[in-house]
Amino acid sequence: MPSNDEIKQVIIVRADLDMGKGKLGAQIGHAVMLSFLDAQKSDKTIANEWLQSGQKKIVLKVDDEESLRKLFAAFKYKKIPCALVEDAGLTQLPPGTTTTLGVGPWRSEEIDQFTGKLKLF
């Protein structure tokens, strides 16, 4: 892989859920870990390069669950490592509420094909 091909991780959050700061942080943390583990299985070289290069992360938002699930399906179809997070329902949200999507770490240009128009959270 050329060294000029940036590697990053993207976390996509549902903006329609009124999660408290602690809940939001926990859901983002789950997305980071789960998608990193998926990336390690897919390509250890990319995962390790990301670890060595500062672990760039971008947090973006979507308006609803349908948008998040469509993105998840698109990343899965393209075989880009990702993980959809569903809440256990122990505090603020009903059990099974889909909250976040972690993508990568992976090649930025491949991630950006699907996330380029999303806004920062």
Residue-wise pLDDT for 29-76, tens only, equals 999 999 999 999 999 999 999 999 999 999 999 999 999 999 999 999
pLDDT for position 5: 82
Residue 1 belongs to some domain of the structure:
no
- Give the domain range for residue 75: 7-120
Residue 12 belongs to some domain of the structure:
yes
Residue 2 belongs to some domain of the structure:
no
Residue 48 belongs to some domain of the structure:
yes
Q: Which string of b and e fits 67-89 if b means at least 16 CB within 10 Å?
A: bbeebbeebeeeebbbbbbebee
Taking 50 as the threshold, does the pLDDT of residue 19 lie above it?
A: yes
Taking 70 as the threshold, does the pLDDT of residue 4 lie above it?
A: no
Residue 114 belongs to some domain of the structure:
yes
Number of separate domains in the chain: 1
- Please state the rounded mean pLDDT for residues 86-109: 95
pLDDT for position 74: 98
- Please state the rounded mean pLDDT for residues 78-83: 98
Taking 80 as the threshold, does the pLDDT of residue 3 lie above it?
A: no
AA identity, residue 108: S
Taking 90 as the threshold, does the pLDDT of residue 2 lie above it?
A: no
CATH of the domain at 56: 3.40.1490.10
Name the residue among 110, 113, 104 with its Cα closest to residue 58: 104
